[in-house]
Structure 1
Amino acid sequence: MHEPLARPPTDQKFPPAINIIALASFSAALSTRALDPVLPHVAEEFSISITTAASIAAGYALIYALIQPIVGAAADLFGKARLMTLCLALLGAACILGALSTTFSGLFASRMLAGIASGGVFPVALGLTADLVAPAKRQVAIGRTLAGSMTGNLLGATASGIIGDLVGWRGVLVIIGALGLIAAVAVAAGFRGAALTARPKSDLRTLRQGYRTILANPNARYCYSAVFVEGCCVFGLFPFIAALLFDLGETSLSIAGIVIAGFAVGGLFYTFTVSRFLPRLGVKGMMIAGGSLVALQLAALALGPGWKVQFAIMLLMGWGFYMIHGCLQVFASELSVEARATAMSLHSFFFFMGQTVGPLAYGFGLAHAGKAPTLAASAVLMVLLGLACAALLRPRAPSDARA
């Protein structure tokens, strides 16, 4: 039987291009959570509520999600590396435009453009990783790509809080924009040659067949539903972390950035340990343990501990989240071979749709039910999610896989 999640060898070597892919993921991830720690200052400058300021995160996630079907098809048609390079350049320009905004609507529009650009980097990076690495080694290779993304999230959240305290939120966007433009040049140089100029491997007819292959696989409905719930329960909380810390009397943006960065530290811990825990726990165990660990941390946050404890909580939450999310990414990479970028982009579509709904749901829950009931509800959902994924997801070969 086809087994995409086989036990990984202990001494794995990957193509050098994996490091370039990790660099691209790092550059795009810098922008994703960069404004979360500084949202209180954005709200103050434009005289808006923190809930309105948090709509930037929801809008970014929404446009990121909506662009995914187009991005996946374009990557399969015209080349993944070429599209990734173009999107990194667009991301850098969008961040610089956001720094120059004089109105909240202008800032919001620039973040939507950044969401479009970022949407063409990470899911395509996962597709490239899956193209380069065999299924038996893929979960660890994807962990390497995730390490780049997690490092970007870590620095993006931490540095933005520090930079925000020093030079304001505009300085955050200028620096991240400049790094995005530099990364575009670096990635283009790294994939110079066949990787950027090869003829497309797919046509429109093949793409249509790819969608049929993806959606006919029973794992598709489970993978895509699961990542929607993940995005809602976990990432929907992030725009409110700084505000919750403010309620506890901790008004430093640097502290908010450090707490949010704890999640990325946990993600990095996952990438360093997945090759050891996967053989011991198995895929089902990873998903159950991951969902349960996230749930425990959500419940702990409801108690309102100090920021140092919250950092530790976020670290454990990040570790648990990627235990389950990493498994879902591998299942998604095996939904189709010929339209793998499309499958991974659909995966990101549902994930970021969850991140769109999440801030709205948390905002409503915090306003009407309070912190403890809202976080408890999310905790219950994450436990049920881990159990459901373990019960429903099965290794299945895509119908377009070669014998």
Structure 2
Amino acid sequence: MKSPASPSPHALSPTVRRTIFLLSLATCSSMALQRICDPMLPELSRMFQAPISEVSQVISFFAIAYGLMQLFYGPVGDRFGKCRVVMLATIGCSVGSLLSALSADLPFLVAVRVGTALAAAAIIPLSLAWVGDVVHYEHRQETLARVGLGTMLGITAGQLFGGLLTDTLGWRWAFALMAAAFATVSFLLWQQLKHLEPVAPPAHAPVGFFRQLGQVAHNAWARTFLSLALVEGATVFGVLAVTAAHLHQVHHISLTLAGGTTALFGLGGMAYMATAKITIRRFGEVGLARYGGMGFGCAFLVIAFSPWWQLALPSCFVAGFGFAMFHNTMQAKATQLLPKARGTGVSLFAGFMFLGQSLGVLVLAELFNHFSSPSILGADALAVCALGLFLSRAIATRNATQADHA
């Protein structure tokens, strides 16, 4: 009789699995908070009597504050505990969302969104960094996909409820919903903290923060990788912020329908996360980067130029699947950027990505005043195709170099 197979030395404990689930809820809420204003822009423009380029500050200024705070939260998470900092951040987001719902004018709403971003900045990067600390690299990309499932669900929920509640109860109720969601997640994380064991410190003590930045600045791969994160934020998240406005203005569909259509982007990403184990083994990092970028780009070419808005439904789904392939690869590489100070490394990645998002939203919103939205979305789609091809080649070259030095 064969003895039962012994568990894998890298198997996840029930406590770790539950923590990953709760972190997924936190990342879901964080991403929903970022995307919930996307379908609101036309209504906020009407209510506050301001152009789209001005009301888009509720998105772009959020992203700027979010990106800048990464330099703060990386070292803080490494020092005081990543899950604890995430829990405190969800409390701050709950308060900020409540204040957003009570905003009386656009400047106050923008200011509160910036304040909320200061808290939200901790959630996603520190969640990913915590996974990097407790999960072996062999299984890390698959595990990151589980956390990413919450992120993609957040994109769907933000786009869908942002449009639906704006069209029905009013945009303030969307922020009230976010306040309740964050309050729930913070309570669950607070309960979970008592069950977590401290993460073992790295084999060698990390060097000072500014010395870490110096190491990144002198590392060619790190410079290339962070530059790609900047471009990803500008091209992918930038265009996502204006897609609902494009569908609403060009095809004259309601904000609910426009938000629901762009919400399929998140469902496409969730489909990838559900099949990540198979997809990762089938394509590998190089293939995920290449076909993910090309899938996103081709889908947005259809969204940009199709005369039938109905084709945006499957296109948003395909774009979400392609984005998740590309971004999940970027996340896995980010956890290895500074292995001795993983919170700082992942936070640098997130900081560059959201700095790119803020620049992308500002630039694309301004271009809307001078060019047609189809031409803007089309140019952005081609840029993402090129980004996927570049990343795939960069990873292949780095893997070959590492193999030669092994």
* TM-score w.r.t. length of structure 2: 0.89
Of 209, 216, 224, the residue aligned with 2:226 is 224
Within 5 Å, which residues of 2 pair with 1:263-274? 263-274=265-276
Q: CA deviation at 1:377?
A: 2.1
1:126 aligned onto 2:153: no
- The whole-number CA distance in structure 1 between the counterparts of 2:143 and 2:171 is 34
Residue 351 of structure 1 is matched in structure 2 by: 353
Indicate how the Cα distance of structure 1 residues 12 and 205 shifts in structure 2: closer, same or farther if over 3 A, else same: closer
* Alpha-carbon separation, structure 2, partners of 1:295 and 1:12: 37
What is the Cα deviation at residue 20 of structure 1? 2.1
Pick aligned residue for 1:38 from 37, 40, 45: 40
Mapped partners of 2:400, 2:356: distance in 1: 25
Q: Which has the higher mean CA deviation after the structures are superposed, 382-391 or 361-370? A: 361-370
Q: 1:208 to 1:40 in 2, by over 3 A?
A: same
Give the whole-Å Cα distance in 2 for the aligned partners of 1:396 and 1:27: 39
1:143 aligns with 2:139: no
Kept after mapping to 2: 8 A contact 1:210/1:338: no
**Partner of residue 102 from structure 2, selected from 100, 103, 115:** 100
Whole-Å separation in 2 of the counterparts to 1:193 and 1:175: 29
Unaligned runs of 5+ in 2: 1-7
- State the shift of 1:246 in Å: 2.6
Instruction: Tell me which of 323, 326, 338 is aligned to 2:325.
Output: 323
1:75 maps to: 77
CA contact (8 A) 1:259 1:307 kept: no
Rounded Cα–Cα distance in structure 2 between residues aligned with 1:225 and 1:299:
24
Distance 1:221-1:199 versus aligned 2 partners, 3 A rule: closer
Superposed, which structure 2 residues align to 1:365-384 within 5 Å? 365-384=367-386
Cα displacement string for residues 289-346 of structure 1 (whole angstroms, at most 9, x for unaligned residues)? 1111111122112214444321211111111112111111111111122210111011
Report the equivalent of 1:246: 248
User: Which amino acid is 1:156 matched to?
Assistant: G
Question: Per-residue deviation at 1:368?
Answer: 2.5
For 2:73, give the aligned amino acid.
Answer: V
User: Are residue 84 (structure 1) and residue 86 (structure 2) matched?
Assistant: yes
Which amino acid is 2:143 matched to?
A
Matched, 1:342 2:344: yes
Residues 79 and 200 of structure 1 are in contact (CA less than 8 Å); yes or no, is this contact kept in structure 2? no
| Match in the other structure for 2:52 | 50
Q: Relative to 1, partners in 2 of residues 1:211 and 1:45: Cα closer, same or farther, differing over 3 Å?
A: same
Aligned-residue offset at 1:171? 0.8
CA contact (8 A) 1:77 1:200 kept: no
> Given that residues 58 and 113 in structure 2 are in contact (C-alpha distance below 8 angstroms), is that contact kept between their aligned partners in structure 1?
yes
CA-CA distance at 1:29 after TM superposition: 2.0
Q: 1:397/1:387 Cα in 2 relative to 1: closer, same or farther (>3 Å)? A: closer
Q: Check the 8 A contact 1:84/1:124 in 2, yes or no.
A: yes
- What root-mean-square deviation, in Å, do the aligned CA atoms of Structure 1 and Structure 2 show? 2.6
- Unaligned runs of at least 5 residues, structure 1: 1-8, 399-403
Give the drift of 1:266: 1.1
| Cα gap change, 1:397 to 1:179, in 2 (>3 Å) | farther
Cα distance 1:199–1:284, how it changes in 2: closer, same or farther (>3 A)?
A: closer
Q: Is the CA contact (8 Å cut-off) linking 1:236 and 1:358 kept in structure 2? A: yes
Aligned counterparts of 2:99 and 2:216: Cα–Cα separation in 1: 37
The one of 154, 165, 168 equivalent to 1:166 is 168
> With structure 1 as the length reference, what TM-score do the two structures score?
0.89
Give, as a single letter, the amino acid of the residue that structure 2 aligns with 1:387: L
Alignment partners' CA distance in 1, 2:67 and 2:77: 16
CA distance in 2, matches of 1:316, 1:157: 16
- Please tell me whether the aligned partners of residues 216 and 223 of structure 2 are also in contact (alpha carbons under 8 angstroms): no
Q: CA deviation at 1:258?
A: 0.6
> In the aligned structure 2, how far is the partner of 1:230 from the partner of 1:116?
21
C-alpha change, 1:376 and 1:127, in structure 2 (3 Å) is same
Contact 1:335 1:397 in 2 (8 A): no
Letter in 2 for 1:272: A
Amino acid at match of 1:139: Q
| CA deviation map 1:216-244 (0-9, x unaligned) | 44321122111211111121123322322
The answer on whether the counterparts of 1:158 and 1:254 sit within 8 Å (CA) in structure 2 is yes
* 2:5 matched residue in structure 1: none
Matched with 1:3 is: none
Which residue number in structure 1 is paired with residue 3 of structure 2?
none
Residue 64 (structure 2) pairs with residue 62 (structure 1): yes
